[in-house]
Amino acid sequence: MSQGPKFKIFAGTKSHYLAEKICNSLGCELGKMNIQHFADGEFAVSFEESIRGCQVYLVQSTFPNSDNLMELLLMIDAAKRASAKSIIAVVPYFGWARQDRKDKPRVSIAAKLIADLLSVAGIDRLITMDLHADQIQGFFDVPVDHLYASTVFGPYINSLHLENMVIATPDVGGAKRANTYAKYFDAPMVLCHKSRARANEIESMTVIGDVKGKNVVLIDDMVDTAGTITKAADLMMENGAASVRAIASHAVMSDPATERVMKSKLTEMIFTNSIPYQKECPKVRIIDIADMFADTIRRVLANESISAQYII
């Protein structure tokens, strides 16, 4: 890389794998940091090299469990107290994002709380990808670079050369995202309407649109228990679809998600590596996002626009 602002990249425990790939793409070394764990479950973060006057990039997705979020908060605080010039949180998967509004009385808005925690801890910028709700960007008073996994999914979908392709969304809430893909690929869009008995449990589902003889690509931002996405895929196959693939940015994949994907009629399930997926499932394909985040960091360092890298 050309000479620019002095910067260093560090990683939390569970995002080390991604930070190393980002560093390889940037041609730099991953910074040295120590996280010491105590018997009662607490832990302490310390940087093992000087970061005074540096732009510090902290790579950590905040997926379950909550230790990942706490690690990130302590990393930010430690960097602030070590006189870092600026602190950029690189959070490929922004957890708690499903709680972005009061959908019933007397509930918390967790996404806003997390935004406040990160801001108070001391971040100067957030780099994230495919937030569950775009408006979460407005919860921050610092710049938010919101990347889209379509940058890597678009070329993959093109490589499949699917005839009679239809873009679908497993629920009405994802219609805007699916519509963007449908416009880009000049393909028709199909909706699934679902009603839930309770959280993570679907009562009924209906397909709105024609899928007969079509190769369906389901688009979603995350898959948790895989109940919705697999039910949608099976329903579309019952309605005469030729094949159904699912693409989702974040592989939360809480049990029994992997088993459901295996038993479903999905041809394949495609994720990014924003969250480490470590189970064995021949239907799951992981696409790397390290180069996309490395390019964004490179552009932030050079004060260049990042919008040029968006495909969709």
What is the C-alpha to C-alpha distance for residues 288 and 233, in angstroms, rounded to an integer?
Answer: 24
How remote is the C-alpha of 239 from its chain's centroid? 31
194 is catalytic: yes
Identify the bridge partners of residue 129 per DSSP, sorted by sequence position. Answer: 147
What would the 3-class secondary structure string for 252-264 be? CCCCCHHHHHHHC
Distance separating alpha carbons of residues 120 and 110, to the nearest angstrom: 15
Q: How far is Cα 222 from Cα 4, in angstroms, rounded to an integer?
A: 35
Structure tokens of 254? 């809480």
Q: Tell the residue number behind the tokens 């939390």, with chain if given.
A: 12
Of 21, 102, 112, 194, the catalytic one is 194
**Could you give the CA distance from residue 8 to residue 239 in angstroms, rounded to a whole number?**
52
What single letter denotes the amino acid at residue 134?
A: D
- Work out the burial of residue 146: count CB atoms within 10 Å of its CB; fewer than 13 is exposed, 13-18 middle, 19 or more buried: middle
Cα 154-177-66 angle, rounded to 5 deg: 95
Determine the Cα angle at 70 with ends 68 and 73, to 5°. Answer: 115
CB atoms within 10 A of CB 60: 26
Q: Which residues are catalytic?
A: 194
